[in-house]
Structure 1
Amino acid sequence: MLSWRSGLSPVRIILIGVAINAVFTGLISALGSITGSKQSGVMAIVNANISMKTWDDVYNLLIYVLIGLTAAVLAAGKSNLLAMEDKTVRNLGVNVIALRLAVSCIAVLLVSISTAVAGTISFVGLIAPHIARIMVGSNHKVLIPFSILLGGFTVLFADTVGRAIAQPYEIPAAVVMAVIGGPFFIVLLRRSDKP
């Protein structure tokens, strides 16, 4: 039912299914956190827990994150070009494929190092940029730094909610993000005009 929008698209059905699966997996994991039981088969999206991280983890992140964030801020101006059609960007003398690869490599560096240290926290990369785009617009020179700050705030907020919602038990931030992010993702898919 959630996949229906002027017909059914196989891709939309799969993406809605992934989002619903993330929500219910997060709910199962949250109940497991509260009751103290361990569920077998719980997906990796909710296995991350940032509560046990130390300053050594921050130092491990520091060099890679500084390199990645510097590259992201430097690539912000060129990223604005990707909003235009490929033909237009090529006519401006920009190699579109090389630019996309460079931006993708920067994103992969940042995601991989943060995931390696903090674990997988789903939907942060989906929620933060969309909210940031609504708040500050589409200029990547402003959007990228704002998304960086908003992403950090989002994880901190999810961690705080996880600690406060079922005291004295703690629900990991990844679980909170899975439960919040799934419906957010479904709403984005429903609003999308693309099939």
Structure 2
Amino acid sequence: MDPAITALATLLAVLLGGLLTVRTNDRLWRREHNRQWRDIRISAYNDFLAASRQYVAFALDPTSRIEAAPHPSKPDESMPFFDERGTPYKEKLESAKTAVRLVCEGESAIEASSQVVRRARQIAASRAVHGALTVPHEQFESLWEAEAKFIGAARAELGLPRLSVRPATPSASSDNLA
């Protein structure tokens, strides 16, 4: 009887050790998986903000050729159209926005990214109408506000604390946007 009890105790110890190992490995895998997704999100959010800044910087460049046409479904808005030199900026912004949509966990960061894109497009359309140096300042304020909302939504999604101070708004010059 003693050898049977010893064998059973050994078998139970091996099973328990195996279960604990599986549980520990599962926990480590989940932690690593979450860390990788967090890094992917940070990269996508950073790329999006960089693309939006580059888009606006291009729009404000006095040598950029931009045309504006009425928006087909929003009569009070204009749509900017770039030449072949500006097309990569538009494509990069659209691609970065799509990447954000792919990795976001919630609606608030997606909506905030859409607002950043709308505001950047408004600046580009205004640039086509008003010229590089006379884009209304209110449009820049609106862009920085949309950007701050995006950053807040991204930070919340990443589990980072809220910023108690609103980030400084960049100058409207293209030197600070690139």
TM-score by length of 1: 0.33
- In proportion to residue count, which structure has more strand? 2
TM-score between the two structures when normalised by the length of structure 2: 0.35
